[in-house]
Amino acid sequence: MSRHHEPFALGALRAGTIASAILLTLGISGCDTGGDVRDGAQPLGQAAQPERELDEPAADIDIGARSTEEGTAARNEAAARTDSSQADDADSAIGSDAGASDEPGSTELAAAGATGAASAAAVLTPTEGKQASGNASFIEMEDGLQVVVTMAGLEPGQHGIHVHENGDCSGPAAEAAGDHFNPQDVEHGAPSDDPAQRHAGDLGNISADASGEAELSIVAEGMTVQGERGVAGKAIIVHADEDDLSSQPSGESGDPVACGVIEVSARG
């Protein structure tokens, strides 16, 4: 190379060196800044991650489920206790009803109330110096008046039983009750006789066992709770002796040992 061209070559070499340095510097700067995360962008080479909902942490789901399960368990336990309590109440109510039905005539009166049938009842108490007592119920049926009587404290054997004309048991021997209930003014007879040919109050006999207890259940044809042949407002009497069902005017059944006033029962 001639000396004439040497200054020019050295200048070009310096210019090329400077340019290379500039380019190298720019490249390094680009590499340094290219990896930065700007505006929430993911770094290059890193897979995008799904955003987590900040207001519902994953742990909250398990806690909520657990709370729901505990709440359901608590409600189930409370319901079980309620059912048990109701069952106990029902058992108590059944026990009370069973106890009530043990009383003489209560079953019949309950049935009458449930069906709306006319019914009446009486409590028989002892006359002076006697020990007999009991209960009577009267329920209208299609074929007559169902009469149920239970007694205790009687002498063993047969005892005449009749409805008397007055609803008054006063007097040492219930004298205020008057004669047999006899609205048609006919003769005394048996309950199996034609209703038109006997006293309406003729109920025959009630039989006491060795312990003095007795029960009678018959349907008295032609009798009612109220009306001309109605028993309401009358008295029912159990006598000391057996009714022979033919002697006048009362079958030779002896003195009253128990008497009760017949009263209409409330309808169901």
Residue 233: is its pLDDT beyond 90? Answer: yes
pLDDT at site 219 = 94
Instruction: Name the pLDDT band for 3 (thresholds 50, 70, 90).
Output: very low
> What are the tens digits of pLDDT across the range 163-202?
999 999 999 999 999 999 988 889 988 888 888 888 888 8
Residue 77: is its pLDDT beyond 70? Answer: no
- Provide mean pLDDT across the span 237-264: 93
Of 18 and 119, the structure prediction assigns the larger pLDDT to: 119
| CA 30 to chain CA centroid, nearest Å | 89
> What are the tens digits of pLDDT across the range 38-49?
444 444 444 444
Note the pTM of the prediction, 2 decimals.
0.59
Instruction: Name the pLDDT band for 90 (thresholds 50, 70, 90).
Output: very low
Between CA 191 and CA 194 the distance in angstroms is 8
What is the DSSP annotation of the chain? --TTTHHHHHHHHHHHHHHHHHHHHHHHHHHHHHT---TTPPPTTS---PPP-TTS-HHHHHHHHHHHHHHHHHHHHHHHHHHHHHHHHHHHHHHHHHHHHTSTTHHHHHHHHHHT--EEEEEEEE-TT---EEEEEEEEETTEEEEEEEEESPPSEEEEEEEESSS---STT-GGG-SB--TT------TTS-GGGS-TTEEEEEEE-TTS-EEEEEEETT-BSSSTTB-TT-EEEEESS---SSSTTTTT--SEEEEEE-EEPPP-
Which amino acid, 39? D
Domains and CATH numbers, the chain: 106-264 (2.60.40.200)
Whole-number average pLDDT of the chain:
74
Of 21 and 148, the structure prediction assigns the larger pLDDT to: 148
Give the HSE-up count for residue 242: Cα atoms under 13 Å, Cβ half-sphere. 6
Which amino acid, 49? Q
Percent of the chain with pLDDT over 70: 56
Residue 36: is its pLDDT beyond 50? Answer: no
Neighbours of 139 (CB within 10 A): 23
- Provide mean pLDDT across the span 71-76: 60
Of 71 and 37, the structure prediction assigns the larger pLDDT to: 71
pLDDT at site 108 = 59
pLDDT at site 88 = 54
pLDDT at site 124 = 98
Of 236 and 250, the structure prediction assigns the larger pLDDT to: 236
Residue 134: is its pLDDT beyond 90? Answer: yes
Alpha-carbon Rg for the chain, nearest whole angstrom, is 54
Of 179 and 268, the structure prediction assigns the larger pLDDT to: 179
Nearest to 239 by CA among 148, 130, 146, 165: 130
Between CA 151 and CA 212 the distance in angstroms is 8
